[in-house]
């Protein structure tokens, strides 16, 4: 397997502003054995037209609007690659991304998911910060609800076939919830290179205060994760810490949206369930980050 086929899906819904850049970032990879699939999720702007302008170099699929998870699952199901991944319609891959992923895969075929470091870019595609992803830790993934993989993540198609894909009912943390399930099949591995770009702009989730339902997605996912778990499971002792972190995420997101009472309620629940969090610097900084986001979105935009 010197040059395995790598399948990349770009899900797009009204993403015409950045879609051309995203597509070109995949087509300009130094590694060439790539299958690119663009799934238009019922866009009403020029997204489908832009995707079709590259029709001789990629596959274009159109479906009724079903959300990002539905679009990704559709694309991955019809893909033929040994490794599969995705790029959001406003993000980009740097030229050596796939080449480095294939290299890592050839050296560590037992790994089920690879993910790199990445840059944050603005609406003009200007980088302004490097995000160094943490090394994979199953404890952090589960007990601290940490989603280490960001843009540029690739995983095994064989393992995908054994799962039900991304949960289409989730809008805020479908990736993390899927990584939880994927981790049951093996370890992930960080590639310590900047290989992708995540775009921060007014329409991105970074600047969009979550609704009440979305704010509690992390908590709901982790509660369900442990719901039917046997007390004999070696992961069960992480339950209280994990649910506590779920409340921390809810507290931050509610605070960012101006729901101060709910934020306080979840913060107190986090401490009650896992008292060590009261001395956890992350606990206070992370929640107060929600307040900074509230100020930014309400007064500084």
**pLDDT of the residue at 301:** 55
Angle 150-136-6 (CA atoms, 0-180°, nearest 5)?
50
Reported as type and span, the H/E element at residue 40 is: strand 34-40
pLDDT tens across the length of the chain (301 residues): 579 999 999 999 999 999 999 999 999 999 999 999 999 999 999 999 999 999 999 999 999 999 999 999 999 999 999 999 999 999 999 999 999 999 999 999 999 999 999 999 999 999 999 999 999 999 999 999 999 999 999 999 999 999 989 999 998 899 999 999 999 999 999 999 999 999 997 765 555 677 888 899 999 999 999 998 999 999 999 999 999 999 999 999 999 899 999 999 999 999 999 999 888 887 888 888 888 887 876 766 5
Query: Is-contact 255 287, C-beta < 8 A?
Result: yes
For the record, the structure tokens of 222 come out as 């982790």
Radius of gyration of the chain (CA): 19
Q: Which backbone phi and psi does 188 adopt, to 5 degrees?
A: -100, 165
**pLDDT of the residue at 260:** 93
Q: Domain 6-199, what fold?
A: Spore Coat Polysaccharide Biosynthesis Protein SpsA; Chain A (3.90.550)
For the record, the structure tokens of 24 come out as 């070109």
d(C-alpha 245, C-alpha 9), whole Å: 31
Among the residues of 162-203, which ranges form H helices?
174-182
For the record, the structure tokens of 44 come out as 């009403």
**pLDDT of the residue at 286:** 82
CA distances from 218 to 31, 233, 236, 281 (A): 36, 21, 18, 20
The predicted model scores a pTM of 0.91
d(C-alpha 188, C-alpha 183), whole Å: 7
For the record, the structure tokens of 194 come out as 């900047």
Domain residue spans of the chain: 6-199, 212-300
Length of the chain: 301
CA distances from 70 to 18, 28, 106, 228, 235 (A): 21, 27, 30, 26, 30
**pLDDT of the residue at 210:** 78
3-state SS class at 285? helix
d(C-alpha 43, C-alpha 37), whole Å: 16
């Amino acid at each position: 397997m010197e040059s395995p086929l790598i399948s990349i899906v770009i899900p797009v819904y009204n993403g015409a502003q950045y879609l051309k850049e995203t597509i070109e970032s995949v087509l300009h990879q130094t590694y060439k054995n790539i299958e690119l699939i663009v799934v238009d999720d019922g866009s009403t702007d020029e997204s489908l037209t832009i995707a079709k302008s590259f029709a001789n170099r990629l596959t274009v699929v159109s479906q009724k609007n079903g959300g990002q998870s539905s679009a990704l699952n559709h694309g991955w199901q019809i893909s033929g690659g040994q490794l599969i991944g995705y790029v959001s319609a406003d993000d980009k891959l740097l030229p050596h991304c796939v080449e480095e992923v294939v290299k890592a895969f050839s050296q560590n075929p037992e790994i089920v998911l690879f993910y790199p470091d990445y840059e944050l870019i603005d609406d003009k595609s200007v980088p302004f910060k490097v995000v160094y992803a943490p090394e994979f830790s199953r404890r952090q993934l589960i007990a601290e609800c940490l989603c280490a993989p960001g843009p540029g993540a690739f995983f095994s198609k064989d393992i995908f076939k054994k799962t039900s894909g991304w949960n289409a009912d989730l809008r805020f943390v479908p990736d993390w919830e899927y990584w939880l399930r994927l981790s049951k099949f093996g370890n992930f591995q960080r590639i310590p290179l900047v290989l992708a770009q995540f775009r921060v702009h007014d329409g991105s989730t970074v600047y969009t205060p979550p609704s009440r339902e979305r704010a509690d997605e992390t908590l709901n996912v982790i509660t369900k994760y442990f719901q039917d778990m046997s007390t004999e499971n070696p992961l069960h002792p992480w339950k209280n810490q994990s649910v506590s972190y779920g409340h921390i995420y809810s507290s931050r997101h509610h605070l960012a949206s101006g729901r101060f009472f709910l934020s306080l309620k979840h913060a107190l629940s986090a401490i009650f369930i896992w008292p060590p969090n009261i001395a956890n610097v992350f606990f206070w900084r992370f929640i107060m980050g929600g307040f900074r986001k509230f100020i930014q979105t309400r007064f500084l935009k």
